[in-house]
Amino acid sequence: MIDLLLALTLPLVALGVLLARELFRAVVMFIAFGLLMALVWVRLQAPDLALAEAAIGAGLTGVLLLDALGHLRQPHPPGQPLRSLLPLLTILALVLAGALGLVLLGALLEPLQPSVNLPAEVALHIEASGVAHPVTAVLLAFRAWDTLLEVAVILVAVVVGLALRFSHDDAAAESRVSSPLLQGMLSWLLPLMLLVALYLLWIGSYRSGGAFQAAAVMAAMLVLLRLSGQQLPGQNHPLLLRAGLVGGLGTFLLLGSVQLLQGGAFLAWPEQLAGAFILLVETALTFSLALLLYALFEASPAPARKGHPPRTGDQPS
């Protein structure tokens, strides 16, 4: 019953996102959608995903979108969000969507006949992985290659973002809010957020939690710090920042090649020390991913001068 209700709400909120007249409303609906997704992950018995979605889907993405909206003050008409170029194209798109819907419905109702029982496989080999939580075991032992490459993908995104940045100073300057209450509260909240992040990192080895969730909380902490106008320690040391950005991937690669030296496979952890190696990699990943996610926020370029968009590419800073 509750599943039906929640599953029905999800597409309705998505429709709200797509049909909202104002862009701001669409973004707020999207944040609500992220929160709903977190609830859905709980119902799907994926608390790891719920944690990540609550911090990232609802928190970080929302901040990013709202920040971008603040800089895109443009004379775009608010009405008729779905008005298309040609009526013919609209009809065509809707027909194709309907056809795709029918195909998907048929495919999704068909029960899967997998040749390998993955949950059983995971349960069988979890002893050897060095950790007790299946999701962490998959992430950092069974499918460590995927995780490694995904961290690399995020690093590439951040590098491109930083390359497109206009200047250091005025990135988020406009959105700073100063308030004595905020400053007072931050000194309470920030240590608590750090504690929560480290707790998530630590329990990842035997329960829901781990590097990605901890990094999301830590990145949220950094963004909060930045938005409140605080100076971050090491903010003006580009080298330090860059070292932090590549630190996670570097540690992952370095520790992954330890077995390589002894004739083993890449990313195969030493048998006795697997747990310790995974914890080390996770710790490095947490701090590095937090910085990466924060740098994505920071990488947003300077606001456009109102009414005077520059004609050609202007010089950075």
For residue 65, the minimal CB distance to other proteins (Å) is: 7
Q: Which stretch binds other proteins (CB under 8 A): 50-58, 229-237, 240-248, 273-281?
A: 50-58
Q: Which stretch binds other proteins (CB under 8 A): 18-26, 229-237, 239-247, 264-272?
A: 18-26
Helix (H) or strand (E) holding 23: helix 23-43
C-alpha pair distances (Å), 170 with each of 136, 237, 293, 309: 39, 17, 19, 16
For residue 20, the minimal CB distance to other proteins (Å) is: 9
Can you tell me the distance from the alpha carbon of 315 to that of 40, in angstroms, rounded to the nearest whole number? Answer: 46
Can you tell me the distance from the alpha carbon of 151 to that of 249, in angstroms, rounded to the nearest whole number? Answer: 7
Say if residues 24 and 48 touch (Cβ distance below 8 Å): no
Which residues within the stretch 104-163 sit at the binding site for other proteins (CB under 8 A)? 104-105, 108, 111-114, 117-120, 122, 134-139, 142-143, 146-147, 150, 153-154, 157-158, 160-161
Q: Residue from 21, 94, 132, 145 that binds other proteins (CB under 8 A)? A: 94
Is residue 306 part of the contact set for other proteins (CB under 8 A)? no
For residue 95, the Cα-to-chain-centroid distance in whole angstroms is: 33
In the bound state with other proteins, the residue whose beta carbon lies nearer, of 62 and 263, is 62
H-type helices in 44-85, by residue range?
A: 47-52, 61-71
In the bound state with other proteins, the residue whose beta carbon lies nearer, of 243 and 304, is 304
In the bound state with other proteins, the residue whose beta carbon lies nearer, of 86 and 261, is 86
In the bound state with other proteins, the residue whose beta carbon lies nearer, of 85 and 239, is 85
Is residue 170 part of the contact set for other proteins (CB under 8 A)? no
For residue 292, the Cα-to-chain-centroid distance in whole angstroms is: 10
Is residue 88 part of the contact set for other proteins (CB under 8 A)? no
Single out the residue of 124, 131, 291 nearest to residue 205, CA to CA.
131
Q: Residue from 87, 233, 263, 310 that binds other proteins (CB under 8 A)? A: 310
Single out the residue of 272, 282, 317, 307 nearest to residue 202, CA to CA.
282
